[in-house]
Amino acid sequence: MNIEEQIKRLREELHEHNYRYYVLDAAVISDYDFDMKLKELQALEEAHPEFLDETSPTMRVGGTVTKNFNTLVHEQRMYSLDNSYSKEELLEWEQRIKRNLGDATVSYTCELKYDGASISLSYENGQLVRALTRGDGFQGDEVTANVKTIRSVPLHLRGDFPPRFDIRGEIILPLEGFEKMNEERIKNGDDPYMNPRNTASGSLKLQDSALVAERPLDCLLYALVGRDLPSKTHYELLEKARGWGFKIPREAQLCHSIKEVLAFLEHWDVHRHQLPYETDGVVIKVNDLQQQEELGYTAKSPRWAIAYKFKTEQASSVLEKITYQVGRTGAITPVANLQPVLLAGTTVKRASLHNADQIAKLDIREGDTVFVEKGGEIIPKIVGVDLTQRPAESTPTIYITHCPECGTLLQREEGEAQHFCPNTGGCPPQITGRIQHFISRKAMDIDGLGAETVELLFKEGLIENYADLYTLTKEQILPLERMAEKSAENLVQGIADSVKIPFERVLFGLGIRFVGETVAKTLVKAYKNIDALMAATSEELMEVNEIGQRIAESVVSFFQEDQNREIMEQLKRYGLQFSLTEEQLQNQTDLLKGKTLVVSGVFENLERTELKKLIEDNGGKVSSSISSKTSYLVAGNNMGPSKRSKAETLGVPIISESDFLDLIK
């Protein structure tokens, strides 16, 4: 046997042993024998670098050093899930599903919600080519070298897999491994890690993959994404993925009714503590992929999936002081400063009190012993007061009347839950908050500039608004605390590069109240450039799909302020993108203006997402359900019979893919 064949044979053998040990939990050789074979392979590869293979089992030991993690765009967005905290909310979700799908039979896949760090793995021709963190859902950090060290992640697939696809899952730290890591840290005199989830997430961003390899990380997979996937249901895809070598938890269950779903929830609410890893709930998904397509997505979440959260852990603590924070919009948020208490694996010192009404409703006072929960086991909140522990000298909380930062009299508009500071141009947290929003990842994404640096630049008098960022020089920045020459250069360059950011993200970055990412995209499509948007009246804005009175009035109010108009002129001079590009404009028409279309089924030439984009690019609105206001139903193969029936009953025209393309010619 020649050297190349020997290396190939050892790789195949070690891949098989890895799979049996880490995925099937059915080892057939001892750890010692495995290590000896791995060392043999390492020696052969070092002696014969011409046979290098990125998917070799030796890649598991790490050694690659990553100074900076590249940020890459997800080919298909990673959505977050809507949460439910009661069976009633879950039943309401099921009713929405049935209303949208009509008389169709619906089954569900139930999976435990793993508490770790979300990951997206890309495979081409059966080999792992890329691993991205979730990031903001649109883009994430590439951590391929680190993920290759996780032994349950297959570097090379087996069986009849698609040529190209992504698979999503969670990087977790099993409880046993977490405890061993902490035992070692305590023995070495180090502070123990707080919880497995944060430790798993932090491990992915270690610069040396050899250190990652030392951590007992695991990877549990739960969703395939791609074209031409070899199944029509989610559950079958999980079964197939298991056969290709992925670690798909056996706890996943196919349920044929909501009654079976509820039984699954009840079982795991009791038995989850027997699992070898942390879980905080169950994810319920519509099983049929075609029905998933029919149901579609909201701006943030799939309509066909929901997370049911188990009852949150509760702790009690003493509320030492109530303070007040001022947000970038001037909204005042009262904050409970607590005696530190351990809750769901983290130390909690602060919790939001939301607004004056919430304080009055619970009659919360300084000195009270309060009950604290983590909303969705993430954000701490106060849910009650132990009145038996209330001090005798206790006095009711009087909500502040003036801004804690600038002293301006607070306002509370009718129908608003929060108080606001109206001093938008002179209140420091509002000024720095707007700039911090402007530079954020979903907006201008300015490399080298963070929240602390913004605070420092403002404190030193170098910036008063986000337009001032574009006048900064390296010489101005260098004297600042903790600012080296290279970091100053990077900051100035990052600001200069941001002028290429597209119009919809610039508009989102301006921080207009109620104008989030989705609304910004809608306004950009409708008005094409900033001048047209600034000239629009409230009535004109409300004619745009999805723009209501509250948003319209907020946009008009923002652009009526002289200070904001002056900032817009400055930003234009600095070269920011305040209109759609020529290329974008070429694809935009008003051919479908005022028309609402529903897309259903599988199409021959276009993906459903492409078809929906064409509708929006041509001025139309995409809806997920048919009503008397629907202009057309664009019907593909395997369309749900309930949609066709409803369209026929309401007299909605049913058109084909080619009919639609003719419409927009």
Q: Is residue 113 part of a domain?
A: yes
Strands (E), 227-331: 253-255, 279-286, 305-309, 314-326
In this structure, the answer to whether residues 526 and 640 fall within a common structural domain is no
What CATH number is given to the structural domain containing 534? 1.10.150.20
pLDDT at 377: 45
CA distance 151 to 138: 27
Give per-residue pLDDT as tens, 441-475.
Answer: 889 999 889 889 999 999 999 999 999 999 999 99
How is 414-445 classified by DSSP, letter by letter?
A: TT-SS-B---TTT-HHHHHHHHHHHTSTTTT-
**Inter-residue contact 223 to 184 (CB < 8 Å):** no
- Residue 466's beta-bridge partner residues? none
Mean pLDDT for the stretch of residues 117-125: 95
Give the percent of the chain with pLDDT over 90: 57
Residue 411 inside a domain? The answer is no
Asked if the model's pLDDT at residue 245 lies above 90, the reply is: yes
Backbone angles phi, psi at 223, to 5 degrees: -160, 135
Q: Which pLDDT score is estimated for 281?
A: 92
Structural domains counted in the chain? 6
Residues 330 and 198 in one domain: no
Do 384 and 356 lie in one domain? The reply is yes
Q: For position 172, which CATH number holds?
A: 3.30.470.30
Q: Is residue 571 part of a domain?
A: yes
pLDDT(18) > 80: no
Q: Are residues 302 and 324 in the same domain?
A: no
Domain check: are 528 and 489 in the same one? no
Q: Which of 225, 233, 300, 286 is nearest to 100 (CA)?
A: 286
In the predicted structure, residue 661 carries a pLDDT above the cut 60: yes
What H or E segment, with its residue span, contains residue 177?
A: helix 175-187
pLDDT mean across residues, the chain = 89
| Residue 567 in domain | yes
**Confidence at residue 120, expressed as pLDDT on a 0 to 100 scale:** 97
* pLDDT score for 665: 82
Characterize 173-187 residue by residue with b for buried, 16 or more Cβ atoms within 10 angstroms of its Cβ, and e for exposed. Answer: bbeebbeebbeeeee
Find, among 206, 198, 200, the residue nearest to 67 by Cα.
206
Task: Clarify whether residues 253 and 162 are in a common domain.
Answer: yes
Note whether residue 248 is domain-resident.
yes
Of 452, 485, 500, at which residue does a domain stop?
A: 500
Q: Which stretch, 44-48, 105-109, 438-442, has highest mean pLDDT?
A: 105-109
Residues 553 and 606 in one domain: no
> 200 — phi, psi (to 5°)?
-65, -45
Rounded to whole angstroms, what are the CA distances from 450 to 69, 329, 437, 465, 652?
17, 19, 10, 15, 52
Query: What number is the average pLDDT over the span 103-110?
Result: 92
Predicted pLDDT at 144: 94
Percentage of the chain modeled with pLDDT above 70: 97
Give DSSP secondary structure letters for 494-516: HHHHGGGS-HHHHHHHTT-TT--
- Tell me the per-residue pLDDT of 153-169, one tens digit each, with 9 for 90 and over: 999 999 999 999 999 99
Instruction: Single out the catalytic residue among 39, 98, 113, 187.
Output: 113
> Domain for residue 236, yes or no?
yes
172 and 277 share a domain? yes
- Tell whether 189 and 89 lie within a shared domain: yes
β-pair partners for 221: 169
Q: Are residues 303 and 196 in the same domain?
A: yes
Among 289, 308, 327, give the residue marking a domain's end: 308
User: Do residues 300 and 321 share a domain?
Assistant: no
- What's residue 64's pLDDT? 66
Question: 524 or 299, which is more confident?
Answer: 524
Q: How confident is the model over 344-362, as a mean pLDDT? A: 87
For residue range 550-593, what is the model confidence (pLDDT) as tens digits? 999 999 999 999 999 999 999 999 999 999 988 778 778 889 98
Task: Determine, yes or no, domain membership for 401.
Answer: no
Average confidence (pLDDT) over 71-97:
91
Q: Of how many residues is the chain composed?
A: 665
Domain final residue, candidates 459, 483, 500:
500
Range of the domain at 625: 596-663
Beta bridge partners of 324: 334
- Strand, helix or coil at 615? helix
Using alpha carbons, select from 539, 544, 549 the residue that is nearest to residue 523. 544
pLDDT tens-digit readout, 260-287: 999 999 999 989 888 998 888 999 999 9
In the annotation, is 113 catalytic?
yes
How close are the terminal C-alpha atoms of the chain, in Å? Answer: 64
Q: Are residues 121 and 219 in the same domain?
A: yes
Amino acid in position 599: V
β 596-600/621-623 pair status: parallel
Q: Which residues of 423-459 are buried (b: 16+ CB within 10 A; e: fewer)?
A: bbeebebbbbbbbbbbbbebbbbbebbeeebbebbbe
**Tokens at 154, concatenated:** 């297959």
Please indicate, yes or no, if residue 50 is contained in any of the structural domains.
yes
CATH number at residue 349: 2.40.50.140
- Contact (Cβ atoms closer than 8 angstroms) between residue 145 and residue 64: yes
pLDDT tens digits along 374-423: 754 456 889 899 999 999 999 999 999 999 999 999 999 887 889 999 99
